[in-house]
Structure 1
Amino acid sequence: MTRPPAASDAPFSDSDSASFRRSFERWRTAFTQLAVPATSPLRCDQQQPTWDQGTIMQEMKPDTEKSDAERKRDAADCKRCEKWRDELARDSPIVRFMLKHVSLLPPPPGSTMPSPEHSQTPHLPIPITCAPCPPTMAGGYSSEMGILLCQNRFMSRRHMEDALTHELVHAWDERRFKPKGAWGEDLRAHACTEIRAENLSGDCRFNREFTRRNWHFTKQQQACVRRRATLSVAANPNCKSKEEAERVVNEVFESCWPDTRPFDEIY
């Protein structure tokens, strides 16, 4: 007796292979997760993940020491950040592209990051949280908590778009590549993902560098990527000095700079 097709088998014919069906279901799941509602709920009034446990975040003033005006400003910054985040997830081609490709890869082995349905952003394939940060950063990525957007550090929605894309490249790299040891301990892997994130995100476009008063007549993109990747690696607690960061970035630059995955190329 022939078994009638299940509901999930409906799009397939008898000649479709099992691998094709699995690939199809992964793509369908990815696109379903990216169907962000036009008005997703803002979650600024809920308890934020403990990003402040990090060394850098400890520079921030505790909430108990903030004035009423500072707390009101934090709430306004958070609502703007979450509004822009959801608009970018819905409307930005590069953010949608990266969210889709992150969702198509399984979490790394042993990952403790909450699944979308158990995170503060169930409408996104990875937790993306808004929180106040010190002036030294605009965003961050954690294997345990997902992506951090620094709600008080964005000059515009375009600035957030670049920062979010940067962190999504890190999220994709962690799912796609296997470093020697844990992420952060392998400085070469750290340098490579920073080079790729700086190169692919828009962090180093000419007008952004112009506002930083860093520009070159030739190879401006390469100079920016190398400089910013070095700064990020130097901030790694496992890196002994800026000289070591420069050496590691130089060692992997020629192999990591041309790697534009998951993009076919950059413009």
Structure 2
Amino acid sequence: MTRPPQQPAFDPHDSPSFRRSFERWRATLSAFAAPARLRCDDKAAWDQGAIMQGQQPDADKSDRDRKRDLADCRRCEKWRDELARESPIVRFMLQHISLLPPAPGSTMPAPEQSDTPHLPLPVTCQPCPPTMAGGYSSELGILLCQNRFMSRAHVEDALAHELVHAWDERRFKPRGKWGEDLRAHACTEIRAENLSGDCRFGREFTRRNWHFTKQHQACVRRRAILSVAANPNCKSKDEAERVVNEVFESCWPDTRPFDEIY
């Protein structure tokens, strides 16, 4: 005899919104345990975006290059799904993203319509130019640059970084669209660099950037300025530096959804 699915024992005083949030959270946790199909042979929409400019067209690649791309993709997707099940920071961010509704006007595919139905938003592995390790798009979700990762820990930092952007988009309202409001862009970059692990001492040591004092703050500021300067709406690096400095003191201590960081 098949048992009916067990329902959560809600308190009579629990609000309908709490019950809906709990159900989304539970569904996300349950999905983490399910194996995901690899999508390495599919042509992702990221290929058509400006973010991928400079990449060699697939038709011009040799068989050896295509085999390497496939191996990179399978490794990236394997690490992605392992981190979704095992990484504390990735699990925490995925859970909190699943509790928030999509951003107003979002055209991002629903989880069940994306290539990663076991995750609350699309997370795609694709080859990228050498200047990036990941990206976030309001329309496409998260991009992981499969050919740019040195280890699973590197993927963890990049994925956590982009998940902070995804959470910020659902939680905060910029003045206009994301990307057009440079102060909002600077703030989410500061938060992502601060919370993701991108600026831990070991990572900075490999980049040959370290300081005897305030190393973490210096890294966060430097990398946030570089990200804002790359925004097409930013006129110069000087403007990026000015905007980051204007919001740094208010955005640096904001560790939501974490209580605190160490």
Give the structure 1 partner of residue 108 of structure 2. Answer: 113
| Change in 2 beyond 3 A, CA 1:107/1:140 | same
Deviation of 1:144 after TM superposition, in Å, equals 0.2
Deviation of 1:52 after TM superposition, in Å, equals 2.7
**Which of the numbers 2, 13, 34 marks the counterpart of 1:16?**
13
| Change in 2 beyond 3 A, CA 1:134/1:24 | same
Distance of 1:218 and 1:34 partners within structure 2: 40
**Which of the numbers 217, 221, 225 marks the counterpart of 1:226?**
221
Distance of 2:29 and 2:117 partners within structure 1: 11
Distance of 1:258 and 1:12 partners within structure 2: 35
Alignment of 1:154-233 (within 5 A): 154-233=149-228
Contact preservation (8 Å) 2:204, 2:210: yes
**Which of the numbers 36, 41, 53 marks the counterpart of 1:40?**
36
Deviation of 1:226 after TM superposition, in Å, equals 0.2
Alignment of 1:222-261 (within 5 A): 222-261=217-256
Q: Secondary structure at the match of 1:34?
A: helix
Tell me which structure has the larger Cα radius of gyration: 1
- Listed as ranges, the gaps of 5+ residues in structure 2 are none
Distance of 1:9 and 1:202 partners within structure 2: 37
Give the structure 2 partner of residue 147 of structure 1. Answer: 142
| Change in 2 beyond 3 A, CA 1:96/1:108 | same
**Which of the numbers 23, 31, 41 marks the counterpart of 2:26?**
31
Distance of 2:7 and 2:59 partners within structure 1: 55
**Which of the numbers 87, 90, 114 marks the counterpart of 2:85?**
90
Give the structure 1 partner of residue 58 of structure 2. Answer: 63
Question: Which 4+ residue blocks in structure 1 deviate beyond 3 angstroms?
Answer: 7-10
Give TM-score scaled by structure 1 length: 0.93
Distance of 1:266 and 1:188 partners within structure 2: 23
**% identical equivalent positions:** 76
Distance of 2:7 and 2:64 partners within structure 1: 56
Give the structure 2 partner of residue 4 of structure 1. Answer: none
- Listed as ranges, the gaps of 5+ residues in structure 1 are 1-6
Q: Secondary structure at the match of 2:50?
A: coil
Distance of 2:34 and 2:9 partners within structure 1: 28
Task: Give 1:194's aligned amino acid.
Answer: E
Distance of 1:132 and 1:108 partners within structure 2: 27
Distance of 1:134 and 1:104 partners within structure 2: 33
Deviation of 1:10 after TM superposition, in Å, equals 6.6
Deviations 1:131-166 (A, max 9, x none): 000110000000000000000000000000000000
Contact preservation (8 Å) 2:10, 2:19: no
Task: Give 1:39's aligned amino acid.
Answer: P
Give TM-score scaled by structure 2 length: 0.94
Deviation of 1:202 after TM superposition, in Å, equals 0.1
Distance of 1:56 and 1:10 partners within structure 2: 43
Deviations 1:57-82 (A, max 9, x none): 11100100100000000000000000
Q: Structure 1 stretch 54-63 or stretch 150-159: which is displaced more? A: 54-63
